[in-house]
Amino acid sequence: MPAPALITQTPPDLAGLRAALLDWFARSGRAALPWRRLGEAGARDPYRVWVAEILLQQTQVARGLEYYGRFLSAFPTVEALAAAPEDAVLKAWEGCGYYARARNLRRAAGVVTRQGFPRDYAGWLALPGVGPYTAAAVASLAYGEARAVSDGNVRRVLSRLYAQAAPTDAWVQARADDLLDPARPGDWNEAVMDLGATVCTPKAPRCAGCPLRAFCAAFASGTPAAFPAPKVRAAVRAVRAVAVIVGDAEQAVLERRAGTLLGGLSGLPAEELAAGEAPYAGLARLCARLGAEPGAHLGTVAHAMTHRRVTLEVYAAYSGAPRTPVAGAALSRLDHKALALLAPWQEGLFGPE
């Protein structure tokens, strides 16, 4: 077989490259994804495309399908989302992480309800929480605007196609713009993303089944998995904290979280420990703040968040403070793990110390 032709800027056979990928997409693309379905008018629902693109920014598709279905069941229309209390939106988003996305989605739904859906890239970009990727995705997928998307899958495909080890964001966007099929921008964007998700995978690309193998400089190099070079990861910060459960798994004292990571969620009262600080010192400080009496150590849970690994020491505590129904509160996975420590106690396997 002849060696693949190396490409530097625009491929010499751009029409052939586009045809190869779009033919593959027609046969092997992920057409069954619910946000890709056409409505009665033969067009996609921009609301469903938008929700999917926001949700999938930090969530793999396999898990995102469950979250997507749950969220759309709770808020089937943009009007329903705009009218919903923030707590209800956060509860429906529970488990997806990066909760600022849900808060911004609700804010933007209010704008859309008042002004109508944007019809182009600039209009989508003006909405709260919508960045260049999401604006390009919705504009191309729902309205056919010729806007190229640039996400992790696109970055990997283009890095290998051009054998670019360290592609910058600007470089990826420029190459994506060069390759975009202006006649079928939505199909093209989905085809590149699907190729990256199912064939041009990070560690073990399936080059034998790749429709772009004949154009791929990384394949020609013999080491396609070497592109792109691994990113330098930010150091993970170890966080130690203490939390108390005042109540039980059905009714407990909860506090409102602050900050960008878990802001707006409810959670067990907690205190971060200083370096070298003993857990009981943090427990005493926390109980003093709550006016509570410390109880038994229920256990330890660990949870990874963005650039953080949290180790949480969980204690029982006793107070007459008002309790909140746990089932209706939007909680992080860390709080659910902590509450799960109550199960052996409630089942009578252990008694108080």
Kind of pairing, strands 324-325 and 270-272?
A: unpaired
CA distance 55 to 338: 25
| Spatial CB neighbours of 66, under 8 Å, sequence gap ≥ 6 | none
Tell me, yes or no, if 53 is annotated catalytic.
Answer: yes
Nearest residue to 216 (alpha-carbon basis) of 132, 284, 159, 152: 159
Radius of gyration of the chain (CA): 24
Q: Is 269 left (phi over 0), alpha (psi -120 to 50) or beta?
A: beta
Of 40, 53, 255, 353, which is the active-site residue?
53
Question: What is the residue type of 140?
Answer: S
Count other C-beta atoms under 10 Å from residue 193's C-beta.
22
CA distance 315 to 265: 21
Kind of pairing, strands 237-245 and 308-318?
A: parallel
Residue 7 contacts residue 215 (beta carbons within 8 Å)? yes
Residues marked as catalytic? 53
